[in-house]
């Protein structure tokens, strides 16, 4: 999924008056744009992502008590993201960010909060690194058992475990990509899973289609190591 793809998804959600998903899609597009730009510049993604995450967390903690519009929430997070980026890329980053006028079509004000929401449900008390490690373990173990079952002729069960391995490896990749780009609430993770329902491609092809061309090499490497 490219930044324009996320922008189109956000506009679709806005037309349906789905405030949270419209915000999430816009924010995911912003994060993707920043990540792509940092890759082009050869920047240290983990360090840059940590700086962005800290800046956005601080900014959203200072939202006013009054109701704010969906656009204001995303703009606040966006300003924090741009301010946290290296000065040498800020102008280019701003140029590449998609417009947010479609969020003005949503009339309902929203309370104070982060457009990317809370990661608590996904983490379940674990750190992001622990979650990634656990997912990689599930992927590796499932793939290993699937291989043994296939050799023993249990094709159906082996296929089911193989699909489980791919799903865990895909989730692990998405979590790692989110961590590196400063997406502390994993908005891009949820959206990329949602996007899989919109295509009838084979499973691995659907995974590949959801991440965009720039990331496919890394994703394929992650899947092949399971």
pLDDT per residue of the chain (226 residues) written in tens, 0 to 9 = 677 778 888 888 888 888 877 887 888 788 878 878 877 877 666 666 667 767 766 666 666 666 777 888 888 888 888 888 888 888 999 999 999 999 888 765 444 344 444 555 667 778 888 888 888 899 888 888 988 888 888 888 888 888 888 888 888 888 888 877 677 777 777 777 776 766 666 777 777 766 666 677 777 777 777 6
Q: What is the DSSP string of the chain?
A: --HHHHHHHHHHHHHTT-HHHHHHHHHHHHHHHHHHHHHHHT--HHHHHHHHHHHHHHHHHT--SS-B-HHHHHHHHHHHHHHHS-HHHHHHHHHHSPP-GGGGG----B-S--TT---HHHHTT--HHHHHHHHHHHHHHHHHHHHHHHHTT-HHHHHHHHHHHHHHHHHHHHHHHHHHHT-TT-HHHHHHHHHGGG--S-HHHHHHHHH-GGGHHHHHHHHHT-
pLDDT computed for residue 175 by the predictor:
87
pLDDT computed for residue 94 by the predictor:
92
pLDDT computed for residue 158 by the predictor:
87
pLDDT computed for residue 57 by the predictor:
67
pTM more than 0.85: no
Tell me the β-bridge partners of 68: 110
């Amino acid at each position: 999924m490219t930044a324009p793809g996320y922008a189109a998804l956000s506009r679709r959600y806005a037309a349906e008056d789905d405030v949270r998903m419209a915000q999430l899609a816009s924010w995911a597009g912003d994060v993707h744009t920043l990540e792509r730009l940092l890759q082009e510049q050869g920047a240290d993604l983990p360090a840059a992502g940590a700086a962005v995450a800290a800046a956005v967390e601080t900014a959203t903690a200072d939202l006013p008590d009054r109701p704010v519009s969906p656009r204001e929430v995303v703009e606040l997070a966006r300003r924090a993201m741009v301010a946290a980026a290296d000065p040498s890329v800020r102008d280019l980053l701003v140029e590449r960010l998609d417009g947010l006028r479609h969020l003005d079509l949503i009339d309902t004000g929203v309370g104070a909060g982060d457009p990317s929401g809370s990661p608590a449900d996904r983490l379940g008390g674990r750190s992001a690194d622990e979650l990634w490690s656990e997912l990689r373990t599930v992927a590796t173990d499932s793939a290993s058992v699937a291989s043994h079952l296939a050799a023993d002729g249990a094709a159906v069960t082996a296929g089911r475990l193989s699909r489980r391995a791919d799903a865990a490896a895909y989730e692990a990749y998405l979590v790692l990509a989110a961590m590196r780009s400063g997406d502390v609430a994993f908005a891009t993770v949820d959206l990329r899973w949602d996007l899989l329902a919109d295509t009838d491609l084979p499973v691995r092809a659907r995974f590949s289609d959801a991440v965009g061309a720039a990331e496919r090499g890394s994703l394929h490497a992650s899947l092949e190591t399971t």
